[in-house]
Structure 1
Amino acid sequence: MTHTAGRSAAPDDELALPTVRSLHDLGELVKRRGSLYVRWSRGPARDLDATRSVDELTGIPMPGLSANPLQVETWWGDRPLRLWVARRLYDYCHLRRDRDGDVRPWTLHGREVGRGPDNEPLLTDIVPVSWIDLAVIDEAEAEVARQRRPWGPMRR
């Protein structure tokens, strides 16, 4: 089901979305579904009612929901897909801590209508795909820690 501005959705606990439970499974989903995004929020039901994100710094409403792409970029080459999705999750895992555990990650499809202040895609015509279990975030953090030169999450 595609959601557009003005349409309301069921509460999150009523959304019958599958849950991704491992980095491997998330990688497989990215391979199968193509242009997939991850969003950290209170969930699709609330987001679909809001239909747009607001720039935290200025308070300006943006033309869609902010999300981050999960599709692999060509410059990644033949590096492991597991590491790619780990990095994409890890880059924003601080949001859960910064917002007192009030947000969680979920995947979606959508149509890009612009870019936010951090150059993140802004999406409309949102189609929720899956929840991402919080254990996958722990797995992503462990994967990053195993790298020769680990990086820190983005904080903007």
Structure 2
Amino acid sequence: MSTWDDLPVVRSLDGLVRLVERDRRLYVRWSRGPAADLRAASSVDDLTGVAMPGLSANPLDVEGWWRDRPVRLWVARRLYDYAHLPHDKGPGVRCWILTGREVGRGPDNEPLVADIRPLCRIADRVIEEARREVARQDHPWGPLRRTGR
């Protein structure tokens, strides 16, 4: 089982972009790490407590509707949308990249992934780069955890 220290570290947004451009079926996960996750190999629906058949993660593959927009902005958004999770879920929650096999969908329509292979972890400064990239946009969006208006 991989621990944080076993995983290579991606130290720049451009480094993560290169990985996404090179490989398919990569997922980003926010958790206490592969060692903790792979013991159960199952996420739990926070609302109902139901165990799901894989780990919830978010895909990094660029969707066709993104067209010719920058991959850097796509990757920044994928990190930015869930950057609130360390605050919400508590100490030790970090971002890491994995590959695996989709086995279903979770309650927020996120992929559930089994046969997990941890690839790398993401340095905190990459999350900050993603935040800055989003803030530079003409019409920046809020994080996925949006407040009512």
Q: Percent identity, please.
A: 66
Whichever residue aligns with residue 25 of structure 2, its letter is S
In the aligned structure 2, how far is the partner of 1:61 from the partner of 1:149?
Answer: 38
| Partner residue, 1:123 | 113
Q: Is the 8 Å Cα contact of residues 97 and 119 (structure 2) preserved in structure 1?
A: yes
List per-residue Cα deviations over 1:59-89 (Å, max 9, x = no partner): 1100100000001001111111110000000
User: Which residue of structure 2 lines up, in the alignment, with residue 6 of structure 1?
Assistant: none
Where does structure 2 lack aligned partners over 5 or more consecutive residues? none
User: 1:103 corresponds to which letter in structure 2?
Assistant: V
For the residues of structure 1 that align with 2:32 and 2:50, how far apart are their CA atoms?
Answer: 20
Asked if the contact 1:20/1:26 (under 8 Å) is kept, the reply is yes
Partner deviation per Cα, 1:115-149 (whole Å, 9 max, x = no partner)? 00000000100000100001000000011111111
Q: Is the 8 A contact 2:77 2:130 kept in 1?
A: yes
Which residue of 21, 29, 45 maps to 2:35?
45
Which residue of 123, 136, 149 corresponds with 2:139? 149
- State the 1:10 CA deviation: 4.8
Shift of 1:35: 1.2
Deviations 1:22-56 (A, max 9, x none): 11110100111111000000001111111000000
Q: CA deviation at 1:102?
A: 2.5
The alpha-carbon deviation at position 153 of structure 1 amounts to 1.0
The equivalent of 2:97 in structure 1 is 107
TM-score (structure 1 length as normaliser): 0.90
Gaps in structure 1 of 5+ consecutive residues? 1-8
Alignment-derived partner of residue 21 in structure 2: 31
